Amino acid sequence: MFTTHSIIAFVFFFNVVVGFKSSCILPKDHRIKRYSCSSARWISATDESFKTSKAKGEDPWWKHEKLPHAYIAEKVRKDFPILQTSIQEKPLVYLDSAATSQKPKYVLDALNNYYERVNSNVHRGAHTLAREATSAYEEARDAVASLINARSRNECIFTKGATEAINLVAMTYGRTNVGLGDEIISTEIEHHANIVPWQILASQTGGTLKFAHVDKETGTLDVEEFKALLSEKTKIVAFQHVSNTLGCINPVLDLVEAVREKAPNAKIVLDACQSVPHQPVDVQALGIDFLAFSGHKMGGPTGIGALWGREELLNAMPPFLSGGEMIDQVTLEESTFVSSPGRFEAGTPPIAQAVGLGAAIKYLEKIGFDEIEAYEKELGEYLYKRLLECKGVTVFGPRQNRVALCSFYCEAVHPSDLSTFLDLEGIAIRAGHHCCQPLHQALGYSHSARASLYIYNTKEEVDKFIEVLESSIAFFESMSASSNGSNDEEFVPFI
């Protein structure tokens, strides 16, 4: 039960009955739209094969569940100052790390140290601070190269994030190599950052953009359709390593093999935002051509990410932005450009952010990515199993081979309202389409809620989340029952 039921009831009453509507009314299309969807069987909590029963009088199974790697969260939680924060006078339970992770003190200290003791521009001065700043910046590049097993540090370009990294590839390699009649292959399950740049590229070059769809029976990418789209016309193939909504792990090696066989001229762009922070990633072993990830999802600062690309490809690509730092020689008639990575880092780069990213990588490597992956697999499976037991909850994605995030839909409550209710208990989740509108449309929903985990989350936090989730659902069901079929047009969501 809610410990703040009276407050919640008041908020609900004030919003719906008193008429606090002027700032809260949302367009009708913000509400859930239900479409015909054959996928309910694989994502529904009503699937009896995934329900766990208990004998009368016994404790539920989860009361005694032990996670072998739970010591990781116990060890690292103290490193994240924000986790000591209270929200609505309740301990913060942060379940939104797929949107952005929290930052360990090790990273915060690295940022403060840079600004307090090292701050200077890089690559441009011979004085002590300039040399130290350059060293710190380039050491961060070495950390990125080591993290993903790049062949050379020159293959690692700092960007504002994965969105800029993907746009960089589209606007340089894409504009140079995609023309009329050429094809770009992506998938329906992508984040918008891996859809919109290719739409723009296709419209500018006369290329054709094709999409493989979600398999509604498995909750994963339709791999066979993906393979069938490939041909000698294919010039770029772009897909996620891990879905930020379905939680599925794409079979990258299988997909790469198919591309090399059926589309030998194509280059492969991998969105690794939801994999690099959580598991070992080796670009050489994956056999791809470009990889993008963001620092803020792995304990690093916002405003920093990286693009990895094969060095020979990068050096053949035109610059992305132009100005200082990326030039070799400049005359009034023409300019020449340095090789990668400088070619793609025009102007003063995000120096402090890069230093912070380097610190985040060191912090995670000290824990060990194999350990991180093992713990998140345990915790993610626990979250998934507990959500499946919640009445009226539909969980998106596959049953197996998934990461520690769950997107879900509750019959009784809009995701935005659910997020508001959970926030009253200090629990932070994501509500919306998670930058995956085409995927949501394919599944038959306009929005969903999402709980996503990281190394600092615990089994106890998952239990608290499920407790409040079930209380919220019960509350809204009771309100619906008491409304006696009142007109839905009069209902005003909280946010």
Task: Report, as residue numbers or ranges, the catalytic residues.
Answer: 435
* Tokens coding 60: 């539920």
* Cα 303 from Cα 357, distance rounded (Å): 10
> What does each C-alpha distance from 67 to 64, 77, 160 come to in angstroms?
10, 16, 36
User: Could you check whether the bond before residue 341 is cis, i.e. omega within 30 degrees of 0?
Assistant: yes
* Cα 283 from Cα 286, distance rounded (Å): 5
* Cα 266 from Cα 289, distance rounded (Å): 9
Any idea what DSSP says for residue 390? Answer: S
Amino acid at 62: W
> What does each C-alpha distance from 252 to 202, 436, 461, 469, 483 come to in angstroms?
24, 20, 32, 35, 50
* Tokens coding 237: 């193939």
379, 459 Cβ separation under 8 angstroms = yes
Among 176, 168, 142, which residue's Cα sits nearest to residue 361? Answer: 142
* Cα 155 from Cα 307, distance rounded (Å): 8
SS3 257: helix
What element of type H or E holds 221? Answer: strand 220-221
In this structure, the number of other CB atoms found within 10 A of the CB of residue 450 comes to: 24
CA 305, chain centre distance (Å): 13
165, 156 Cβ separation under 8 angstroms = no
CB burial of residue 417 (10 Å; 0-12, 13-18, 19+): buried
266, 259 Cβ separation under 8 angstroms = yes
> What does each C-alpha distance from 476 to 132, 379, 470 come to in angstroms?
58, 28, 10
Phi, psi of 358, rounded to the nearest 5 degrees: -60, -40
What element of type H or E holds 13? Answer: helix 5-13
Amino acid at 457: N
SS3 6: helix
* Tokens coding 428: 């932070």
Cβ within 8 Å of residue 295, ≥6 positions away: 161, 301, 302, 304, 305, 306, 353, 356, 357, 360
Per-residue DSSP letters for 265-285? Answer: T-EEEEE-TTTTTTS---HHH
